[in-house]
Each structure stands twice: as C-alpha cells, then as structure tokens.
Amino acid sequence: MSISALKTSLVKVSLVFFIGITTALPAQAIKPVPPTPIDVKKVELGGTPWNPQWDQIIQKALPPEMLSSQVPPGVRRFCPRFGDMSAADKRAFWAYFFQALAGAEAGLNPNTSVRHAEPEVAMAMRSEGLLQLAYADHKRYGCDFDWQLDRALKANDPAKTILQPKNNLECGVKILVNQIIAQHKPLLTRSGYWSTLRPDGPSYRVFAKQMTNPPAACGLPTKSTIDKSATTKSVQDDSDRNETPK
C-alpha cells in the first residue's frame, strides 16, 4: 500500500472513530435522576409519578451557561459540590431541581390549572402545567404556548400547548436562565418568578422538602430515607407494575 493510500485509510478510520464518539456523547451525558419525596409518595399511593422522559427534556434544554463553574448563589444550599461536578452531573441536578419545583408547584401533575382570583387579562387568569406558567410567558420568554389555539379547550385538557410537559418544562428553563444568568439574580430571591423559590415563605418550605434527595454527586448531607440508588426510571417501573391488572 502506498503512503498516500495509507494516509487516506488512517483519516477514514479516524473519522469513523470520531463520529462514533460524538454520537455516543449525548447518550452518556444524560444521567438518571433520583426521585423527589412526592414522587416516591405517589408511587406508594398508586398515583402517576414523574415521567423520566421529562428529565431528558430538561437536561437537553439547559444552555452551557447553566453548567458553568460559576455557581449562582443559592445552588450550593442544595448541591454543595456543584462547582466541581461534571457537566452530566450538573444536568442531573437541574433535572432534579425542576422535578422538585414541579412537585411544589403542581404536585407533579402536568394538567394542573389554577384560576387566579383577580386576573388582569383573560389569558393570565390561570397558572398552568407542571411549573404553573402563564400564556404571557410566550412573549416574555419566547415559550411555545399558543393562547389562540388553546382558548377553546377545557382548562385541564392535556392537548393545550401550555400543559404539554415539553413546552412547559422548556419554558421553565428559559425563565430560570433569565433570572440567574441574564439578570444575575440568586436562585432563591423574593423577586423570583415562582413563589416556591422565594425564601422564608410557606411555599418555599414545600419546595425545600422536595430538595432532600438530590443526585449523590451533589454531596448533600441528608437524613432522607429515600434510596439514593433509586431513579425516576425505577419509580416509573414500580408504578407500571402496580397498575398492571392482576
């Protein structure tokens, strides 16, 4: 074989090897996420638990800034080792964070729709979905909600764009990115979007209770009785077995 042909062959092998690595990275970057206390409770009571596919939606929606070594104030309260963790572990933490937030906001129910007593405009009458968002967030944060399409549907119709978990969770990521990256605000602040992330209030205590079982990589000392080896995948499997007719 000539030197030229040998070089060509080596380049091809290198490209195949490189492509193999790059295509494998996304799968490796997605880590399983532990269950929150409310998720475990739902399984025990035979309810519908957190869907592990929602963890993947969150992890894929995170911009690089959310994985930087500069930890926003408040994060270390729940994940002391955040600054030293790998990108994959940081994604898993944020997925757990949003699961906890959804637990505090909507009891992990994607079809939750709460009417406000004194709405300012028609489409701001409700807080909806896993993260209790509003149609106005479409303009504020570029969220994929369509009020004109949804207005004829019932409040808890899962076909509504705002109730679809992917739309709701991706919007939540955008809102938090705006708060802690664009505005450089702490994770916990009285001016935050969610009342559950406003410290010292009753809603915050509900959220904090859900943050007691973060990924082990966080190094959070905890007295939680939840099995750290459990994940939302195993929780989902347990639920499926419980719901299977005997």
How far is CA 20 from each of CA 14, 203, 228, rounded to the nearest angstrom? 10, 46, 32
Q: How far apart are CA 197 and CA 77, in angstroms?
A: 13
User: For each successive 10 residues of the chain (246 residues), what is the average pLDDT?
Assistant: 42 35 48 96 94 97 91 90 95 98 97 72 72 96 96 94 98 97 94 94 94 96 60 48 38
Residue labelled with tokens 């909600």: 145
Q: pTM of the entire structure?
A: 0.80
| Residue 168: closest CA among 234, 102, 121 | 102
pLDDT at 244: 37
Q: How far apart are CA 25 and CA 51, in angstroms?
A: 23
Asked if 160 and 150 count as a contact pair (C-beta separation under 8 A), the reply is yes
How far is CA 96 from each of CA 169, 173, 183, 190, 213, rounded to the nearest angstrom? 12, 13, 23, 22, 9
Q: How far apart are CA 170 and CA 94, in angstroms?
A: 12
Residue labelled with tokens 């701001």: 124
Element (H, E) at 207: helix 202-210
pLDDT at 185: 94
